[in-house]
Chain A
Amino acid sequence: MPMKEAIEKLVHDDELVFFGGFGNGMTFSAAHEIIRQNKRNLKVTKCGGGIMFDQLIGAGVTNHIVTSHCWNGTGPQPAYNLRRSMEEGIPQKIIYNEQSLFMINMSFFAGYMGIPFVPIRSVVGTGIYDHPKEVGLKAARVKCPFTGEEICVVPAINPDVGVIQVQRADSEGNAQMWGLIGDTKYGINACKKIIVATEEIVDKKVIMESPERTIIGAHKVDAVVHEPWGAHPSSMQGFYYTDLEYRFKYAKETKIIEDWENWLEKWVTGVENRQGYLKVLGDKKINKLKAKPIIQGAVNYGY
Chain B
Amino acid sequence: MGIEEEKYCTEYTGFEMMLVSACRQIKNDDIVFNAFHWPFLAVHMAKLLHCPDLFAVLEVGQFQDELPRPIKMPYSISDPVLVPNSLFVGDSIDALSILQRGEITIALLSTSMVDKYGNCNTTVVGPYEEPIYRLPGGGGATEIAGMAKRLIWLIDDHIKRRLPEKLDFITDPGYLEGFNSRIKAGYPPDTGPEVIVTPFCIMKFDPESKEAYLDALHPNISIEQVKENTGWELKIAKEVKQIDPPTLKEIEVCRQTMRDAIDQYFILKPEWTTYL
- Are the C-beta atoms of A71 and B143 separated by less than 8 Å? no
Q: Which of A5-13, A119-127, A168-176, A264-272 contacts B (4 or more CB under 8 A)?
A: A119-127
- Given the known inter-chain contacts A75-B266, A128-B138, please indicate yes or no for A22 contacting B37, CB distance below 8 A: no
Count of chain A residues with a beta carbon within 8 Å of a chain B beta carbon: 65
| Per-residue interface assignment for chain A, residues 286 to 301, with 1 indicating a CB less than 8 Å from any chain B CB and 0 otherwise | 0000010010100000
Count of chain B residues with a beta carbon within 8 Å of a chain A beta carbon: 55
> Nearest chain-A residue to B99 (Cβ)?
A102
> Nearest chain-A residue to B134 (Cβ)?
A86
Which chain B residues in 175-197 approach chain A with CB under 8 Å?
A: 176, 181-182, 185-188
- Are the C-beta atoms of A180 and B80 separated by less than 8 Å? yes
Candidates A68, A87, A102, A247; contact of B132 at CB < 8 Å: A87
Within the complex, the shortest CB–CB distance from B101 to chain A, in Å, comes to 10
Contacts of A18 in B (CB 8 A): none
CA distance in complex: A182, B264 (Å): 22
- Given the known inter-chain contacts A71-B136, A87-B131, A182-B61, please indicate yes or no for A235 contacting B91, CB distance below 8 A: no
- Are the C-beta atoms of B137 and A96 separated by less than 8 Å? yes
- Are the C-beta atoms of A151 and B186 separated by less than 8 Å? yes
CA distance in complex: A150, B37 (Å): 33
- Are the C-beta atoms of A79 and B80 separated by less than 8 Å? no
Contacts of A235 in B (CB 8 A): 78-80
Q: Which of B12-20, B82-90, B158-166 contacts A (4 or more CB under 8 A)?
A: B82-90
- Are the C-beta atoms of B92 and A182 separated by less than 8 Å? yes
Q: Is A248 part of the binding interface, using a Cβ–Cβ cutoff of 8 Å?
A: yes
Q: Is B265 part of the binding interface, using a Cβ–Cβ cutoff of 8 Å?
A: yes
Contacts of A151 in B (CB 8 A): 186
CA distance in complex: A131, B170 (Å): 11
Contacts of A121 in B (CB 8 A): 100, 146-147, 186-188
Candidates A82, A106, A132, A241; contact of B93 at CB < 8 Å: A106
CA distance in complex: A105, B84 (Å): 24
- Are the C-beta atoms of A76 and B123 separated by less than 8 Å? no
- Are the C-beta atoms of A22 and B92 separated by less than 8 Å? yes
- Are the C-beta atoms of A24 and B139 separated by less than 8 Å? no
Q: Is A69 part of the binding interface, using a Cβ–Cβ cutoff of 8 Å?
A: yes
Grouping DSSP codes into helix (H, G, I), strand (E, B) and loop, the B interface class, with mixed when no group exceeds half, is loop
Contacts of A237 in B (CB 8 A): 80, 83
Candidates B80, B169, B265; contact of A74 at CB < 8 Å: B265
Q: Is B76 part of the binding interface, using a Cβ–Cβ cutoff of 8 Å?
A: yes
Q: Is B60 part of the binding interface, using a Cβ–Cβ cutoff of 8 Å?
A: yes
- Given the known inter-chain contacts A83-B134, A87-B131, A128-B171, please indicate yes or no for A98 contacting B123, CB distance below 8 A: yes
CA distance in complex: A1, B136 (Å): 35
- Are the C-beta atoms of A125 and B182 separated by less than 8 Å? yes
Candidates A22, A102, A128, A141; contact of B96 at CB < 8 Å: A102
- Are the C-beta atoms of A79 and B186 separated by less than 8 Å? no
- Are the C-beta atoms of A125 and B137 separated by less than 8 Å? no
CA distance in complex: A100, B89 (Å): 21
Q: Is A33 part of the binding interface, using a Cβ–Cβ cutoff of 8 Å?
A: no
- Are the C-beta atoms of B186 and A124 separated by less than 8 Å? yes
CA distance in complex: A180, B59 (Å): 10
Q: Which residues of A contact B (CB under 8 A)?
A: 22-24, 47-48, 67-71, 73-77, 79, 82-83, 86-87, 96, 98-103, 105-106, 109, 120-128, 131-132, 141, 150-152, 179-186, 234-235, 237, 241-242, 244-245, 247-248, 291, 294, 296
19 chain-A/chain-B pairs, Cβ below 8 angstroms: A22-B59, A23-B78, A70-B136, A74-B76, A77-B267, A99-B137, A102-B92, A122-B146, A124-B185, A124-B186, A126-B138, A126-B171, A131-B128, A180-B62, A180-B83, A182-B91, A241-B80, A291-B80, A294-B84
Q: Which residues of B contact A (CB under 8 A)?
A: 36-37, 59-62, 75-80, 82-84, 89-93, 96, 100, 123, 128-129, 131-140, 142-143, 146-147, 169-173, 176, 181-182, 185-188, 264-267
The 8 lowest CB-CB distance pairs between A and B, nearest first, are A23-B78, A71-B136, A100-B142, A101-B140, A69-B139, A125-B185, A122-B146, A86-B134
